[in-house]
Structure 1
Amino acid sequence: ESSVGEDGETVGWQEQAKLEASDGVEGDEFGSSLVIDGGTIVTGAVWAQNEAGVIGGRAYVFSKDEMGKWSETSILAASDSKDNAEFGYSVAISNDTILIGAPFDVARTDDDETNGAVYVYNHIGAGSSGNATWVQTARLSASDGPSGEEFHEFGHSIAIHDEIVAIGAPAATQGGGVYIYSFAESGWTLMNKIQYPDTISFGRSIAMSETALVATDPLYNRDGMAQSGAAFAVDADLPTKEIKC
């Protein structure tokens, strides 16, 4: 939709590009998740297949050049890709760091428990074509993942601000949870796990700013209304509080 400005020129939103996977095939579900940071776009394709034939998902990075043209510059996949992990289900980016969630990744193959994982990629320079090169530098998973349970869904949602990352695990025991990590020279460290009483799927989606974190539970039962849902805001000075509509 567009409108006419004071000078008579048409202003508003106009399509600039249509982005597609260079190796896309039927059933990939390219566009499963999406994030943009400046001149970089990351989008997931949760059923994409890698070179080894594993249907574990992929993520695609697009960059905008000086002329404003978008082009695919990287294809990312988990170093330990597994069938049905749904790598690319969630994505987040901040400066030179990309995080990609695979909430159905099998972390313990002996009993087939799908705890989930988040993969961290860092930009380490430019390749021969001058485009960004992204390299996997870490794999994060819940240290308190389930024992004898089928799901945890760690990585269902991700938010990042500077060097602080929040990761949602809405199927974690006791109604779901949000894991907070920070980065230092020694690597990523789990700083906190946030949970809230009486939730069912806390951490289904997450947003974070410099001063606050908001996590949702769309299945939350409020005031006798089943699955009416709620969002919960957390900051450094106040306890978790429910945002009511």
Structure 2
Amino acid sequence: GDLASGWTEIQRLLGTGSANQYFGDRTAVQGDTIAISQNRQNAVRVYSRTTPGDLTSTFQQVVYLQATDSVSGDSFGAGMSISGDTMVVGASGHDSVIGSTQQSDSGAAYVFRRNTPGDPTSTWTEVVKLTASDGVASGRFGKLVSLDGDTVAIAATKDDSGSLAGAVYVFTRNSPGELTSNWTQV
């Protein structure tokens, strides 16, 4: 359409649940798919257009995502990004095991794949959990996520052993384009 003509509200999406759930704290959009975090519930709600490709079409919820190992305080949905049929969701408050030690608030990120590639109304499945190879307590890995094709950059905004210097970790898909593939930190 004509970008100079302005924008029109199509729909107001509302979270469900009790107060202070922070619905909409983070969002990710690609094509006919919108992912909206509700990180006090450690959840992401994924919506799709009722008529794919129709910019005047409203959105309906497709799936309510949670990590398979989610616990209260994980901040699942702190950062997220969608690229094609892959979505990566950060959980910056997750207590990950780094080496052999559980690190409080070290963070994690979860890779999800669309079950029916190319279908915005499809549900999503968790593929793999990513953690920083040298993550630290309170590092907050997963606070910000940016995904493009087979590469994802994941921020640990408070990394570096408490000095708050921050770090960004880059991962690539082991088998490019393969939705069920594992990922490796580069």
TM over 0.5: yes
1:160 to 1:111, Cα distance in 2 relative to 1, 3 A: closer
Distance 1:65 1:123 in 2: 17
Q: Which residue does 1:79 correspond to in 2?
A: 68
Q: Describe the shift of the 1:95–1:28 C-alpha distance in structure 2 as closer, same or farther (beyond 3 A).
A: same
Give the Cα–Cα distance (whole angstroms) in 2 for the partners of residues 134 and 31 of structure 1: 19
Aligned positions of 1:198-237 closer than 5 A: none
Residue 171 of structure 1: how far off its partner (Å)? 1.1
What residue ranges of structure 1 are gaps of 5+ in the alignment?
6-10, 49-56, 192-245
Matched, 1:19 2:10: no
Match of 2:173 among 159, 178, 183: 183
Partners of 2:67 and 2:145 in 1: CA distance? 16
Deviates more, 1:65-74 or 1:90-99: 65-74
CA drift at 1:19: 0.9
Larger radius of gyration: 1
TM superposition shift of 1:110: 6.6
Unmatched segments (≥5 aa) in structure 2? 176-180
Does the Cα contact within 8 Å between 1:35 and 1:92 map onto a contact in 2? Answer: yes
1:182 corresponds to which letter in structure 2? Answer: T
CA contact (8 A) 1:42 1:62 kept: yes
Give the share of equivalent positions with the same residue, in percent.
28
159 and 112 in structure 1: CA distance in 2 versus 1, 3 angstrom threshold: closer
1:182-229 residue CA offsets vs partner (Å, 9 max, x unmatched): 0023520111xxxxxxxxxxxxxxxxxxxxxxxxxxxxxxxxxxxxxx
Matched with 1:58 is 43
**Equivalenced residues, count:** 167
**Partner residue of 2:31?**
38
Structure-2 change in CA distance of 1:167 and 1:111 (3 Å): closer
Q: Distance in 1 between matches of 2:102 and 2:63?
A: 34
Deviations 1:102-157 (A, max 9, x none): 1110114976522100011101128xxx93110000100011122xxx41110011
Aligned to 1:96, which of 60, 85, 94?
A: 85
**Where do 4+ consecutive residues of structure 1 move more than 6 Å?**
none
Alignment check: 8 A CA contact 1:82 1:106 kept: no
